[in-house]
Amino acid sequence: MGFDFEISSGSGSPIFKQIVDQVRLATVTGKLAAGAQLPSVRALAERLVVNPNTIAKAYNELSREGIIETQQGRGVFVAKPRQIYTKTERLRRIEPFIEALAHEGVVLGFTRAEIVESLAEKLDELGLFDGQQGKTS
């Protein structure tokens, strides 16, 4: 409940996706521990001033991915983390993001160093990697 969602309605990316991403990221960075309770669909919709259907869609997606579990009548909770994907599968999933950034970067005229540097900064901002807790299987 003590988790802050931040929605920027003019950012181009759909609201439900912003919520999904924030929850996914928070569970990885430890801001949302396994077992933590999330706000109800209606409560969150009210707090963020968005349509409840939008919240429901986000929770649905998170549920399908196994990141949260809804316990009927009790509420929505963060699930225990499971390493679902194989190394190959993880590489396959990250590829398009790497390609997109690389392409857009060179098209916009950035130098190799600028692109790599910007990414490194963003990663540091996310505040992980202190204890190198993410060994790659």
Partner DNA sequence: GTGGTCTAGACCACT
Partner DNA sequence: GTGGTCTAGACCACC
Q: Which residues bind DNA (CB under 7 A)?
A: 14-17, 38, 40-43, 50-54, 56-57, 59-60, 63, 70-76
Nearest to 87 by CA among 34, 134, 26: 134
- Rounded to a whole number of angstroms, the minimum distance from the CB of residue 132 to DNA is 35
Quote the CA–CA distance of 52 and 40 in Å, as a whole number. 10
Q: Which does 32 bind (CB under 5 to 8 A by kind): DNA, a copy of itself, none?
A: none
- Residue 74 Cβ, how far from DNA at the closest point, in Å? 5
41 vs 51: CA distance, rounded Å: 10
Q: What's the rounded Cα separation, in Å, for the pair 61 and 55?
A: 10
- Residue 36 or 56: the one with the smaller Cβ distance to DNA is 56
Count of residues binding a copy of itself (CB under 8 A)? 67
Alpha-carbon dihedral of residues 93, 94, 97, 103, nearest 10 degrees? -110
Please give the Cα distance from 101 to 49 (Å, whole number). 32
Site residues (CB under 8 A) for a copy of itself?
9-10, 12-14, 21, 24-25, 28-29, 61, 64, 66, 69, 71-72, 74, 77, 79, 82-86, 88-90, 93-94, 96-120, 122-126, 128-129, 132-137
